[in-house]
């Protein structure tokens, strides 16, 4: 789902109480806050949804495909999401093969 569709779905639920602009600002603020907390604390837990965390990936050696030149990739942090048990159960109950 694209961001525009998400804004429209939320706008449908709240009706005229909030404009699409208000909802876009809310989504932006929510995501910015998650990013800030991840960078500072490296973990964000949203009950009933899941946990976002940063995991450190060790550096490694790599080879450029075209030139064959060897180089080293530095250590870095990568985002990781682990869904909660409730989230997984809801998905399993609503989507059956």
pLDDT tens-place string over residues 48-78: 999 999 999 999 999 989 999 999 999 999 9
Q: Is residue 82 predicted with pLDDT exceeding 90?
A: yes
Angle among Cα 56, 54, 39 to the nearest 5 degrees reads 115
Residues 66, 63: Cα–Cα separation, whole Å: 9
Q: Which residue has the tokens 């180089």?
A: 71
Gyration radius of the chain's alpha carbons:
19
pLDDT-derived band of residue 42, with 50, 70 and 90 as boundaries?
confident
Residues 82, 43: Cα–Cα separation, whole Å: 11
> Which structural domains are found in the chain, ordered by start?
3-94 (4.10.520.10)
Question: Under a CB-based contact definition with an 8 Å cutoff, are residues 73 and 59 in contact?
Answer: yes
pLDDT-derived band of residue 96, with 50, 70 and 90 as boundaries?
confident
The 10 Å CB-count burial string (b at 16+, else e) for 6-19 is ebeebbeeeeeeee
């Amino acid at each position: 789902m694209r961001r525009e569709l998400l804004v429209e779905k939320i706008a449908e639920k709240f009706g005229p109480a909030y404009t699409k602009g208000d909802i876009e600002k809310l989504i932006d603020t929510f995501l910015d806050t998650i990013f800030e907390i991840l960078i500072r604390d490296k973990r964000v837990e949203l009950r009933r949804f899941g946990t976002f965390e940063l995991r450190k990936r060790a550096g490694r050696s790599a080879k450029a495909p075209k030139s064959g030149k060897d180089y080293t990739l530095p250590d870095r942090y990568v985002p990781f999401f682990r869904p909660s048990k409730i989230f997984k159960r809801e998905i399993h109950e609503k989507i059956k093969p």
